[in-house]
A = this chain, B = another copy of it.
Amino acid sequence: MTEETWDVVIVGAGLSGLSAAQTLRKRNGKLRILILEGKDRVGGRTVTQELPAAHGIDRWDMGGQWVGSTQTYVMDLIQEFGLEVYTQYTTGKKVHHVGGPHAKVRTSSTSIPALSTLVLLDLSQLVWKIDRLSSTVSVEDPMKTPNAQELDSMTLHSYIEKHAWTEEMKEEMGVCSRVVFGMEPNQMSFLYFIMYAAAAGGVLCLLESTPGSAQEFRVKGGTQQLSERLAQQIGRESVRLGQAVTAIWQDAERAKVMTATHSYLCRAVIVTCPPHLAAKIHYQPALPIQREHLTQNMPVGHMMKFVITYQMAFWREKGFSGEIVARPSAECPLSVTFDGTSPSGSAALVGFISGVQAYNWSSREDWALEEYSGGCPVNVMAPGMLTYYHPSLCMPCGRIHWAGTETATKWCGYMDGAIQSGQRAALEVLARLCPFTLTQEEQDAMQAAQNQNHDSGPCQHLPSTSHLRRALILTTLIMATAVLLAQPQLCRDWIGQARQVVLRRFALWQ
């Protein structure tokens, strides 16, 4: 077994690991940095592939594909590499199929889904309640959230059961959970859900394609380019593919990172792989119990993505946006589709089969079957995990530092969060190895974070205008219903307009 010596070894060549390496390299060009990756490619949960299309071969993202204007880390990186984004196509009618097994497939002109006023009201009140709670969450230290332990003691399912008025709305929330996490609402802590929403700026930001939301832009040429450019910048000789890390040992002097065939001595390690994979590495000395129990209980989602290419975007011509939202069933396993037409005009639809439905399809090629992914898009926390173990998610263990999008405090679970986490872990390592490369401000911030003081108080991602806006929506809807009930024949036009205003806010459900 060969043995080499480096300054820093990074486990994982996804956006998180590569961003960590970039930050280390930028701050101190002398550091010898090695990235070990189990897969035979860089990019982690992003991968861009060629598919036959109407006008020859074109490229599509088979993993993470959307970015948004409030995702400053990933937008900065896109700009740094001179890449371009384009807006997700959402013009036209949407198809909506939710509301029990016997629900009709409904299409909506003027971009309004055929939801009853009651369900719209329910949607509005539920999102308003969740967002109000979400605005009280401290993402850095979720247990500072008012009533944190109670919120962490219930599943997302239990919350929905208690607070949604209609069965249709409960089903809608199931679709949301599947689309955002690849997971059923009963597998996740409710506090974790609202923390995740808070890290994105509110629950609607997770669901929408509007400015600032998660599905706002796509990257021309695909998102894997970001990792490829990063690897190029860092130097391909520093990135070793097909080198899955099996063990990390450490003592007072150094750490030793082992693969099946090699062993690497170093002064610091950054582990960036998803928590359930980090849990499979053998650590010596053993990690603290809190860390072990946490990573053993962060279920990873199950989401299968498909891209269908067409001769032409026939849906656009017929006035459809390409969006379908559906309750999964035996006949229709998908949860959602979007227009996936490439910037060069190759027509396509992109969609997801997710949550429990994905299991019926998992004999197909799948993220869950990729050994060094094991699922996608993200690991969440089961109930009770935030209450007892949250600090150990990021707390360094000796020479080992933790990154990966699950450890991010802004857009946790997204490419943006991966980059934030990599940069944060890099600063931790710099503070250990060469503190002179950090500003006093950075050193103080590191110290504060590592002291677990988390004095930051409730996080203020949601501007108060957002509250007002939602309160306004709720009021409008209540008024609309009141008018409708009072004068059913009179006000249809006015109500139609009001609904239109409201429903622009709920693009994903359309």
Contact = CB atoms under 8 A, between A and B. Distances in A.
Interface in A366-402: 366, 368-369, 371, 374-375, 382-385, 387-388
B290 A383 contact: no
A120 to B, nearest CB: 25
A154 interface: yes
B153 A186 contact: yes
A282 to B, nearest CB: 8
Contact of A382 (B158, B297, B368, B371): B297
Interface residues of A, number: 44
Contacts of A296: 276, 279, 296-297, 299-300
Given A369-B286, A371-B286, A384 B155 contact: yes
A497 B382 CA distance: 45
A155 B189 CA distance: 10
A498 B186 CA distance: 42
A344 to B, nearest CB: 35
Contacts of A362: 288-289
Contacts of A297: 187, 296-297, 299, 382
A356 B362 CA distance: 37
Given A296-B300, A297-B297, A155 B290 contact: no
B383 A155 contact: yes
Nearest to A292: B374
A393 to B, nearest CB: 15
Interface string A258-301: 00000000000000000010011010001011101100110110
When all copies of this chain in the complex are counted, the total is: 2
Contacts of A288: 362
A94 interface: no
A157 interface: yes
A187 B382 contact: yes
B388 A359 contact: yes
A131 interface: no
Nearest to A359: B290
A302 interface: yes
B184 A384 contact: yes
A246 B247 CA distance: 11
A299 B293 contact: yes
A335 B149 CA distance: 20
A428 to B, nearest CB: 24
A369 B292 CA distance: 10
Nearest to A152: B186
Contacts of A302: 289, 293
Contacts of A280: 279-280, 282
Nearest to A149: B186
A383 B382 CA distance: 8
Contacts of A282: 246, 280
A384 B279 contact: no
A350 to B, nearest CB: 22
Contacts of A299: 293, 296-297, 382, 384
Contacts of A383: 155, 157, 186-187, 382-383
A157 B154 contact: yes
Given A279-B280, A296-B300, 11 more contacts: A153-B158, A154-B155, A157-B384, A187-B382, A187-B388, A280-B280, A288-B362, A292-B368, A297-B297, A356-B388, A382-B383
13 contacts: A153-B158, A153-B161, A157-B384, A184-B387, A187-B382, A246-B282, A280-B280, A289-B302, A289-B366, A290-B359, A293-B375, A297-B299, A299-B384
